[in-house]
Amino acid sequence: MGFKANALGHSFIDARLLEQALTHRSAGRCNNERLEFLGDALLNLIVAEFVFEQYPRASEGEMTRARASLVNGAALAELAREARIGEHLVLGPGELKTGGFRRDSILADTFEALVAAVYLDAGWETCRTLVRRLYSERVLAAQGKVSKDAKTLLQELLQANSLPLPDYQLTASHGDDHDKVFEVDCHVEALALTSNGRGSSRRAAEQTAAAAVLEQARAAISAGRKSRKS
């Protein structure tokens, strides 16, 4: 394996764990899916602890949003790219042909698997130290991401103007199980507004749709106020 300690800062005692963590399910039965499951739980716990320490005045909702911004697929894929994980992935012929080593979902899953592999290889403290080191700058930079998300802002805007809450409808989902794309409509009946959002999860698609409707709703409500004054 060419993937060495300089990428994550950990030298594996058990090289088989490293190999498994870098092996996508398309390449065979001994792949990283089980490690991915464990790594997801480890990352959520370690990052949650880190956020809790760094933001002593943040509310539960603010900490939840900060953690989500740090462990979502895009953030994990970015970490994987920085460690050049894609260059060392073991992929099946189909994924190789379609550029799986560049795909966010595969990179994010592999990063989670590697975190689990470090934990199994060297224990909790080593894993925790490694994750906190990788996230040290990111957790501090997440301060601007603890603000309210688009769905929350839209809900509060409508409630403040005595309008019914928006309705979210899943309109489509397509792609392979490991690389699905979801499409969601956000509809605000009282303002006759509808927008479509896409994302790698239903929640992400809802946020995208809400963000688009939010700007339209603000404009419509502002225009309504002006017309009533005139």
Tell me how long the chain is.
230
Active site residue 40: yes
Sign of CA dihedral 69, 40, 114, 128: positive
SS (H, E, C) 110-157: HHHHHHHHHHHHHCHHHHHHHHHHHHHHHHHHHHHHCCCCHHHHHHHH
Of 36, 40, 109, 185, which is the active-site residue?
40
Q: CA dist 151 to 6, 63, 204, 210, 219, Å?
A: 40, 16, 10, 5, 17
Determine whether 14 is an active site residue: no
Indicate which residue of 95, 109, 112, 206 is catalytic: 112
Residues classed as catalytic: 40, 112
